[in-house]
Structure 1
Amino acid sequence: MPFCPLCGYEYKEGVTSCADCGQGLVSELPQPPRISEEPLAVVYEAPDQPHSHMVKAALEEAGLPVIEQLERTAMLDDLDLSVVGRYSRLLTVESRAEEAKRITADLLVAYESGDLILPEEEADKERPKEATVKPHRGKTVLILGILGLALFPLVIGIAPALIAFCMGANDLKEMEKGTMDASGWRPTSIGQVCATLGGILGGIWAFVAFVLLCESLSAFL
């Protein structure tokens, strides 16, 4: 199974890049660096996950042992609920702390100048924008369809039946295209059927009423 070397997520065979960060997948996760008993020093405080992963990857590529100390306590809909206001702290052995800070500083300068793009940002640019899905109007179509069916003996029943039929036909087409919430398919379909029955019965009733009216008028003439 392939893994994301940054996020650590496992994917199914055939997937080549991470859905979260866009990083290419590897067959095995890299082994965590062995930290000696030498004292550790903080070399970078990351404001978010992309910065933390970017700096950590650069330091590890330079051969420095790195520990990522997460400090974000909880996430909810991308809201930072941590008290400290940062995502993580990166630590390395004290003897190489200055080297790590120099690498980090150069990396951040390159990022700020636009010479370096985070994998997440590159993936966002290449990822097509999702089409907007409209909310369905299933309940409205259903209510109008039922009214059209219930009121078919009256002339006013034709109006809600016609509206429900037109709305239902249009909404079902949009659901097939994926531009409208498909969870409203059932009430929309039922509403359209009720509207169709109401329209047919209303038309028959209107025809019969018209014939009876004509016969009544001819009897008086």
Structure 2
Amino acid sequence: MPFCPKCCAEYDEGYSVCSDCGCGLVDQLPAPPEEPTPHAMHPVLLYSTDDLNSKILTNILEQEGIPVLARSKTLAGDYVSIYSGYSVYGKKLYVDQADLSRAREILENFLAVETPEDESQEDMSSRRLRKRALTLFLIFFGIPLGSAFVIWIIGLLSRFFV
């Protein structure tokens, strides 16, 4: 059966010209050109971190032209993320095997934290202790007092609108 090489229409025997485009018919269609295959990623685990830091690190690596695949550490992390928008389980960051050494170098430079020389370890531990004390104070006193205040305000407002 003859075919049109331009529009790929199939014709019965006896026809020699395509009725749609006017091209001469051929016995076989030419093979379609092969599309170049995209570079396949060979993912390698680069880093495991919490959800917020994974977004920051992913952004840094993508700005450097390194594609990153971020996956939840557990399946439950995906469900929690869908429900609340944030996963407490964290993420695993994967990069292509070819980009692994460059990605590690970028993250090492970014994650390198220098402590100021004038700040001693005692100052840091006392600051941590103060933060913990403030957190405990807010949990045990701030939240109950704030809740009592809101209930009191609702009680006052309900007197005016009832």
The normalised TM-score by structure 2 is: 0.44
Query: Normalized against structure 1, the TM-score is what?
Result: 0.34
